[in-house]
Structure 1
Amino acid sequence: MRHFIDIQDYTARELEDLLELIRVLKEATKARALPPLLAGASLGMIFEEPSTRTRVSFEVAMTKLGGHALYLRPGEIHMGVRETIADTARVLSRMVDGIEARLLKHSAILELARWSTVPVINGLTDVQHPTQVLCDVFTMMEHLPPGKTLRDIRVTFVGDATNVCNSLVQICSRLGISFTHAAPARYQLTPEYRAMAEANCRESGAMLRITEDVEEAVADADFIYTDLWWWVDQEHEKEERVAAFKPRYQVTADLLARAPAHVKFMHCLPASRGVEVTDDVMDGPHSIVFDQAENRLHTEIALLVYCLRPQLQFPSVSLATRQQARVYEVLRERFGIE
């Protein structure tokens, strides 16, 4: 059984296999020929904060695969309040075939996975967003510059070292994609994630660059990526963060003009338009943000198949026939139900 909690848990080969699975299942989905690979399966979705893309993509993915998704939010379940995370994990494991969780603290999803006997998929925590960045790299593959392979491209992340930035530097350095983080020193990658990425780079041959010079950072970028400047529990820092990032680290048409002509702009969304990115960039010809958003669905389809399908035990035709006959026999003889 495999959880999908942290990009570092996966080798480059495993990530490449997942990317190929996304591609194949996306083609099948577009052709309305996706097989019901999770027929009858259920996914418990725990959300400690609101979500658009994560919730919709997982719920639609389960439906397209022939299964069912159950949305669980604070106030509707007791996890972490009247019931321990461990007990919640053990109860849900008896009722669903997989758990997707979007939690405020990474320690909580590690505890959930520790006690769960079904696969757990990380839908976002305070320090990680692995489903997003798997989607991001797949989107890059669909928009590779002419003549370049995945290992040839350069990705520049502009702005705060968010959970997305952490996961993105992990997957890029794992797969041999050179990564630059441009931000004021205070908001750059932590020593932990920098060391992790450097170790990955030594294996993959990728390059890691961390700088305050955003103009230099975008000069050779094939993809420029940004994210929100503040998130949950950082609202009190809003003014300080805006002062640190704006205007130099705002992604504008002028900043894009410093990059190669083929550069693409990416954002995990939601975006604060006019803050970390301007409207003319979000809606302009370099933007692939809505391709990214759509690919969350195809990424979730692949992750659910990868994680849940191996755990499902489908009966043989003869066993299914015998079991169904017995059910109908009891209904008829005991309750008079045909």
Structure 2
Amino acid sequence: MKLTGRSLSTLLDYSVDEIKYILTQAHKVKMEKMNNIFPKRLANKNIALIFEKSSTRTRSAFTVAAFDEGAHPEFLNKNDIHFGKKESTKDTARVLGRMYDGIMFRGFKQDTLNDLIQYSQVPVWNALTDDHHPTQAFADIMTLQERFGDLQGKKLVYLGDAANNVAHSLMIIACKMGMHFVICSPKSRRPADDIIIQCEKIIKETGAKLEFLTDPKCAVKHADCLYTDVWISMGEENNPDCKERIEILKPYQINQQLIHATDKDSTLFLHCLPAVKGLEVTEEVFESKNSAVFDQAENRMHTIKAIMLATLT
């Protein structure tokens, strides 16, 4: 499958077959790494890593994945370059596109990412914007495949604040994989309407099921996986509505009682991390046998490697 030269803005850009191809490659490169096989397929490639927002998993995953394949990753903090200050995004993109083979962007506005894609003329990968987080969703699905194999019809329940980038990307990829995807949140914290409309079109083709519920115990019944994210995202800490948001989200905490309400011992717990234990999830669940959050974190590296290989070679 030819994906060379493609950027990754959102998962809406990629077909079901393209998503499955990248996931297949992710499993392959994970096995290679486990067996100390490093083919260096990105030798002499240079990767720009632009960070407006701080990171642990994303920076580490891109850096190690690039080194494993023989590429050179260059960390570019927003305070280190003229990006968006003395120089427009358009001009920065045209400069970087002449020097680097690929660009990773982790920041705020989707429009900034799209400008990088339009003007750099090299593959640009969305490592998080306010609207989408596709590299996280790839790792989430890879983790589920490792536990359950074929995901058609598997029930994935996302609880808590669903008006965010993680919920958007997870909803898209779950629908494309034919899953039974449930958003369980207050009505005021549901995903953006335009993305819901896109997902309603997808499920007609894939046989997926999409539900929006408000009762956690009802939502999680027979769930194969429970997923949550922080209730206050990076950059929102000083918003005046934070205290009110936490209050309305308290019933959606993933705790042991909610795990029991699934009626399944095998229900998986996932979280994109970092977690605020005691808010969206309890320490007990986070450290339980149901939790696969560190497998999920590791899989960021393997899926990112697969994305870079697919689009650069």
TM-score, length-scaled by structure 2: 0.96
Q: Which has the larger radius of gyration?
A: 1
1:191 deviates by 1.4
- Corresponding residue number in structure 2 for 1:249: 252
1:241 deviates by 1.1
Q: Does 2:12 align with 1:8?
A: yes
Asked if the contact 2:160–2:228 (Cα under 8 Å) also holds between the matched residues in 1, the reply is yes
Q: Deviations over 1:184-227 (max 9, x none)?
A: 11001221121111111111110000011111110021010000
**2:165 paired residue among 156, 163, 166:** 163
The alignment partner of 1:232 has SS state of coil
**1:211 paired residue among 210, 213, 232:** 213
- Corresponding residue number in structure 2 for 1:35: 39
1:5 deviates by 1.2
CA distance in 1, matches of 2:38, 2:154: 31
- Corresponding residue number in structure 1 for 2:146: 142
CA distance in 2, matches of 1:62, 1:249: 38
CA distance in 1, matches of 2:185, 2:15: 28
CA distance in 1, matches of 2:235, 2:138: 26
**2:71 paired residue among 67, 73, 81:** 67
- Corresponding residue number in structure 2 for 1:336: none
The alignment partner of 1:76 has SS state of coil
CA distance in 1, matches of 2:191, 2:102: 32
Q: Does 2:27 align with 1:23?
A: yes
**Aligned length in residues:** 305
Q: Does 2:221 align with 1:224?
A: no
The alignment partner of 2:252 has SS state of coil
The alignment partner of 1:274 has SS state of coil
- Corresponding residue number in structure 2 for 1:332: none
The amino acid across from 2:71 in the alignment is G
The amino acid across from 1:254 in the alignment is Q
CA distance in 1, matches of 2:279, 2:108: 24
Q: Deviations over 1:131-173 (max 9, x none)?
A: 00011101000011xxx72103110000112201000000011
Structure 2: runs of 5 or more not aligned: none
The amino acid across from 1:257 in the alignment is H
CA distance in 1, matches of 2:104, 2:236: 25
1:285 deviates by 0.6
Structure 1: runs of 5 or more not aligned: 310-338
1:89 deviates by 0.7
| Pairing of 1:62-211 with structure 2 (within 5 A) | 62-144=66-148, 149-161=150-162, 162-211=164-213
TM-score, length-scaled by structure 1: 0.89
1:103 deviates by 1.4
1:307 deviates by 1.3
Higher relative contact order (CA 8 A, sep 6+): 2
| Pairing of 1:263-282 with structure 2 (within 5 A) | 263-282=267-286
1:34 deviates by 2.3
The amino acid across from 1:38 in the alignment is L
1:232 deviates by 2.9
Asked if the contact 2:153–2:208 (Cα under 8 Å) also holds between the matched residues in 1, the reply is no
The alignment partner of 2:253 has SS state of coil
CA distance in 2, matches of 1:211, 1:149: 25
1:67 deviates by 1.1
CA distance in 1, matches of 2:53, 2:154: 34
- Corresponding residue number in structure 2 for 1:317: none
